[in-house]
């Protein structure tokens, strides 16, 4: 489901449209389309929520947001890679899985 810019703004009572525009312009959020007619997917809205929480709830400075987002993106990527490894291990015969468990 795609949401328009105005619908995303309406989800956050304390998020000015200009602030979200800046986040998009800085590449912190990557909706589809051209501004101001951006269309936000569910993952984009989750990213807006994350940045909103970092800025408004946790009071993380604007200059630190790129670093925090980069680190979180790395964590998410590592989790995805670990899920892939787990699926590969689960597909192995019992003796291989036992050997892997023993090695860990």
Task: List, for residues 53-64, the tens digit of each pLDDT value.
Answer: 999 999 999 999
Question: Would the pLDDT of 36 be above 90?
Answer: no
Span between the terminal Cα atoms of the chain, in Å: 42
> Hey, which residues does 32 pair with through a beta bridge?
39
Q: What's the confidence (pLDDT) of residue 64? A: 97
- Cα–Cα distance for residue pair 82/18, rounded to 1 Å: 38
Which whole number is the average pLDDT over 15-38? Answer: 94
- Cα–Cα distance for residue pair 69/48, rounded to 1 Å: 11
Which whole number is the average pLDDT over 11-20? Answer: 95
Name the residue with tokens 């604007």: 62
């Amino acid at each position: 489901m795609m949401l328009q810019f105005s619908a995303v703004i309406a989800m956050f009572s304390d998020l000015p449209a200009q602030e979200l525009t800046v986040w998009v312009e800085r590449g912190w959020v990557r909706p589809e389309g051209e501004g101001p007619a951006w269309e936000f997917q569910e993952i984009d809205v989750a990213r807006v929520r994350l940045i909103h929480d970092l800025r408004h709830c946790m009071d993380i400075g604007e200059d630190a947001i790129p670093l925090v987002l980069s680190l979180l993106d790395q964590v998410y990527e590592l989790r995805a890679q670990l899920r892939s490894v787990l699926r590969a291990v689960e597909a192995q015969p019992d003796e291989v899985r036992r050997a892997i468990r023993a090695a860990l």
